[in-house]
């Protein structure tokens, strides 16, 4: 199996997992921000906007697109504003399908 075939298998696996979790409704920017938030939440439940913007999965998303997608994730219930925190902190909402 060559490298591209291995990558294709990984992509199919990821696609299947995204469908099982209901993530196929998200845009690529929303998905990458959600993945970055979930990654950061493993270390600390309250995620700072600046930390998200610096994450490797998000670093190439333009600032306007980032903030539109972040707002959309909150509106769709994937992320919430952290309670008791000032602006710029979010928590990942655990979703089950």
Q: Which CATH number fits domain 26-92: 1.20.1260.10, 3.30.2270.10, 3.30.1490.20, 1.10.10.10?
A: 1.10.10.10
Cα 58-48-72 angle, rounded to 5 deg:
60
Structure confidence at residue 97 (pLDDT): 42
Q: Over the Cα atoms of the chain, what is R_g? A: 14
Cross-strand pairs, 80:
91
Its pTM surpasses 0.75: yes
Helix ranges, 1-97 (H): 3-21, 28-41, 49-54, 63-75
* pLDDT tens, residue order, the chain (97 aa): 799 999 999 999 999 998 988 898 999 999 999 999 999 999 998 999 999 999 999 999 999 999 999 999 999 999 999 987 668 899 999 764 4
Structure confidence at residue 84 (pLDDT): 75
């Amino acid at each position: 199996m060559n490298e591209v075939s291995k990558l294709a298998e990984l992509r199919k696996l990821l696609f299947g997992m995204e469908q099982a979790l209901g993530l196929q409704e998200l845009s690529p920017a929303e998905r990458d921000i959600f993945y970055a938030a979930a990654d950061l939440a493993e270390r600390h439940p309250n995620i700072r906007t600046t930390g998200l913007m610096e994450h490797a999965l998000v670093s190439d998303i333009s600032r306007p697109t980032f903030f539109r997608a972040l707002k959309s994730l909150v509106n769709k219930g994937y992320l919430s504003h952290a309670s008791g925190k000032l602006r710029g902190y979010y928590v990942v909402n655990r979703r089950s399908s």
